[in-house]
Amino acid sequence: MLNVVILAAGKGTRMRSNLPKVLHPIAGTPMLAHVLDTARKLGTAKICVVYGHGGEFVPQKLAAPDVAWALQEPQLGTGHAVLQALPHLSAVPPAPTLVLYGDVPLIRPETLQRLIACAGQNRLALLTAHLDDPKGYGRIVRVDGKVVRIVEEKDADDAERAIREINTGILVAPGAALARWLPQLGNRNAQGEYYLTDIVAMAVAEGMEIATAQPDDNWETDGINSKNQLARLERIHQRNIAEALMEQGVTLADPERIDVRGELICGKDVFIDVNCVFEGRVELQDGVRINAHCVIQDAVVGPHSIIGPFARLRPGTVLAEDVHIGNFVEVKNSTIAAHSKANHLAYVGDTTMGSRVNVGAGTITCNYDGANKFRTVIEDDVFIGSDTQLVAPVTVGKGATLGAGTTLTRDAPPEQLTVSRAKQVSIPGWKRPVKKKKE
């Protein structure tokens, strides 16, 4: 069992935003939510988030009932922050405590499992990294290969600043020892803060062993302090998602040009062209082709369907087998059965569509009267001519044809041609008006 403390009280001044830093999104969800998801994967007894800047807005936005929230006000340093969490952690049985950061969102659970394993029940374990440019970080001071303390950049002398092994900040400490050390921390240092890092020297003084582990990739422990760093980690995260999709057999036209902001589930032989955005939970079944520039949210795309280019599938779209949704077609809260096609310029909303329906260019389901939404039912084998409006609630019977330009306000009977446009007339001898000559 494990306690997890996530530090998220800092201000994030360099984001230059009214939104608290830890709520800025990576892949569409707050960076703090990524850390929470990772913490939940570790077999955790209790998770406590230390919050401060942004106040109650942070717990409200996260809406995580399994999490304890500890307010840190004012923010007197990382050691002071962890101290605020202690009363919220489960003390019986005594469990190691893992410290994570709300602004370090890409840490891998596998890396943490390794750190937790090397901590065991009675060691202090630090996640460290070797950097070419260690500037700004706390340095790991070793004597005869053994860690003896951490020194912050601002408190370090020249020899210590030359050390390239840095403190990522992530650590695991035995629960009882942590509770003993934290109240003893002082703040006589360059920043006048209670440093969590000072527990290392305390542990060494007690004869406790200090273990270290490293992440597989250094970006795992990168923090976000600015919009530039936010964008950088977003790209790394998206690249990781793209690589995982390709591992599963998805073909991506360009792994640098896909954005997944949620869960994308793919069958066999799925192809995704450039610049597509997936939001919420999207399922692409076997043989689906997504052409360039599509936005797809909370939708199911049936086997061998073809979407786009430039299509938008909104929440509640469920497409069966071999459905074609072409350019500038929007589908929302609709089910479309097998082999139906809407290939150009259409809006299909709140619709139940049968099989083998052909939706002509410019077709619009008028589902909204300004107050309420209504459904459109289009049965099997219907042919809808171009530039047709279906004013819901309305049903088009099986095999019906709607003439181009029809505004359908009543149900269309099966198998017949229904057309509502005015009869075409031609006027013989008609002359165009001409400009009057000036006198």
Residue 138 interacts with ligand UD1 (CB under 6 A)? yes
Listed ranges 71-79, 253-261, 312-320, 347-355: which one lies at the site for ligand UD1 (CB under 6 A): 71-79
Which positions from 213 through 252 interact with ligand UD1, judged by CB under 6 A?
A: 223
C-alpha to C-alpha distance for 193 and 106, rounded to whole angstroms: 27
Q: Build a one-symbol-per-residue string for 50-69: x at contacts with ligand UD1 by CB under 6 A, - elsewhere.
A: x-------------------
Nearer to ligand UD1, 75 or 240 (CB): 75
**Span near ligand UD1 by CB under 6 A; candidates 90-98, 189-197, 209-217, 228-236:** 189-197
When the beta carbons of 96 and 102 are compared against ligand UD1, the nearer one is 102
Q: Which of 5, 150, 313, 353 binds ligand UD1 (CB under 6 A)?
A: 150
Residue 157 Cβ vs ligand UD1, minimum distance, rounded to whole Å: 16
344 catalytically annotated: yes
- Judged by CB under 6 A, does residue 72 bind ligand UD1? yes
3-class SS letters over the chain: CCEEEEEECCCCHHHCCCCCHHHCEECCEEHHHHHHHHHHCCCCCEEEEEEECECCHHHHHHCCCCEEEEECCCCCCHHHHHHHHHHHCCCCCCCCEEEEECCCCCCCHHHHHHHHHHHCCCCEEEEEEECCCCCCCCEEEEECCEEEEEECHHHCCHHHHCCCEEEEEEEEECHHHHHHHHHHCCCCCCCCCCCHHHHHHHHHHCCCCEEEECCCCHHHHCCCCCHHHHHHHHHHHHHHHHHHHHHCCCEECCCCCEEEEEEEEECCCCEECCCEEEEEEEEECCCCEECCCCEEECEEECCCCEECCCCEECCCEEECCCCEEEEEEEEECCEECCCCEEEEEEEEECEEECCCCEECCCCEEECECCCCECCEEECCCCEECCCCEEECCEEECCCCEECCCCEECCCECCCCEECCCCCCCCCCCCCCCCCCCCC
CB of residue 170 to ligand UD1, shortest distance in Å: 9
Site for ligand UD1 in 153-172 (CB under 6 A): 166-169
For residues 86-125, which are near ligand UD1 according to CB under 6 A? 101-103
**Minimal distance in Å, beta carbon 62 to ligand UD1?**
15
Q: How far is the CB of 182 from ligand UD1 (least distance, A)?
A: 12
**Around Cβ 121, how many Cβ atoms within 10 Å?**
10
335: nearest Cα among 321, 356, 316:
316
Name the minimum Å distance from CB 77 to ligand UD1. 5
Smallest gap from residue 153 Cβ to ligand UD1 (A): 8
Report how many residues bind ligand UD1 under the rule CB under 6 A: 27
Q: Is 75 in the site for ligand UD1 (CB under 6 A)?
A: yes
Choice from 2, 4, 9, 98 touching ligand UD1 (CB under 6 A): 9
Question: Applying CB under 6 A, which of residues 81, 203, 276, 306 lies at the interface with ligand UD1?
Answer: 81
Which one of 8-16, 36-44, 403-411, 423-431 is the stretch in contact with ligand UD1 (CB under 6 A)? Answer: 8-16
285 binds ligand UD1 (CB under 6 A): no
Which residue carries 């053994």 as its tokens?
A: 146
Q: Is residue 176 exposed (0-12), middle (13-18) or buried (19+ Cβ within 10 Å)?
A: middle
CB of 11 to ligand UD1, least distance (A): 8
Is residue 197 a contact point for ligand UD1 (CB under 6 A)? yes
In the set 24, 34, 46, 80, which binds ligand UD1 (CB under 6 A)? 80
| 10 counts as binding ligand UD1 under rule CB under 6 A | yes
List the catalytic residues. Answer: 344
Residues that bind ligand UD1 (CB under 6 A): 7-10, 50, 72, 75-78, 80-81, 101-103, 137-138, 150, 152, 166-169, 195-197, 223
